Amino acid sequence: MQQKFQKIKTNFLLFLELQLLISLVICPMLIAWGLPISMMSIVGNLIFAQFLTVFIFLSALLFSSDILGIPNYFIAQALEWVTQIWHYLLSFGTADWLVGFPLWIFPISLIFAATGCFIYKIKMSQNYRILTLGILCLAIPTIHTIFQAQSALITVQQGLQKMHLIKARGKVYAFDCGALGARPSSLSWIEYTLIPTVIKAIGATHIDALILCKSNSRTAQAAKECMKCLPTGQLIEIHNKHETPKISST
């Protein structure tokens, strides 16, 4: 029993060390691309690895029994249960787990990633390696929290139309001046231009208020797509200067 416990402990520490190292190494790449980082990645990978192992094992049994003509009702039922449990666990996922880091963090994360790799050149116990990697991983969001800009202004264009984003007192406001409705489909622009630009500029993974200052027939659908990709607190529509703004919460 003690040997089994020791084996589980050894495997867990090895998994934790590997996940911390991977998180540290890929962090500079995600920052450079303007992609968000999940705070639950290590926990998610730990759970996913077990489910993936069981899923592959049951799938192999189901496939083999099907070929050999062996009744496999219970195997198929077990596979269905595993799939349902996995989907249930995925339902707990939320955009609040995602964090973004502005581009000025990139050189710091690069130094930390190099440091994390360098410690393997030094004779160090596994516990100290895990502790060092953990400190380096936690140092990145800590530095961002302490030194992040409290105010910022950026402009993102789609064609000739613009969207202005203002960060003030920790809140992010987006003023769409026609950018969302500039093309028949703005989803690719939202995913590959708007979101990476916002993350790289101010490290924001959400918008507190989206204000539609200039709308056309495509703006409403584009705004819905934007709010799905970039969580938004309020949607404010301004049709013209003589109308009261229409405000809706999400």
pLDDT in tens, 157-209: 998 899 999 999 889 999 999 999 888 888 899 999 999 999 999 999 999 99
- 116 plus 156 within the same structural domain: no
> 26 and 135 in one domain?
yes
- Token readout for 100 is 């973004």
Angle at 90 between CA 173 and CA 84, to 5 degrees: 150
**Band (239; pLDDT cuts 50, 70, 90):** low
Do residues 180 and 210 share a domain?
Answer: yes
pLDDT band at 35 (very low <50, low <70, confident <90, very high): very high
Q: Do 236 and 134 sit in the same domain of this protein?
A: no
Question: How many domains does the chain contain in total?
Answer: 2
Please check whether residues 209 and 195 belong to one and the same domain.
yes
Backbone angles phi, psi at 239, to 5 degrees: -80, -45
In the predicted model, is pLDDT for residue 94 greater than 80?
no
My answer on whether 207 and 234 are in the same domain is: yes
Boundary (domain end) residue, out of 146, 177, 203:
146
- Domain-ending residue, one of 122, 146, 170: 146
Q: Are residues 30 and 84 in the same domain?
A: yes
Q: Are residues 136 and 167 in the same domain?
A: no
Residues spanned by the domain of 169: 151-249
N-to-C CA span, the chain: 52
146, 179, 211: which is the final residue of a domain?
Answer: 146
CB 235 within 8 A of CB 210: yes
Structure tokens at 126: 């596994």
Confidence of residue 247 (pLDDT cuts 50, 70, 90): low
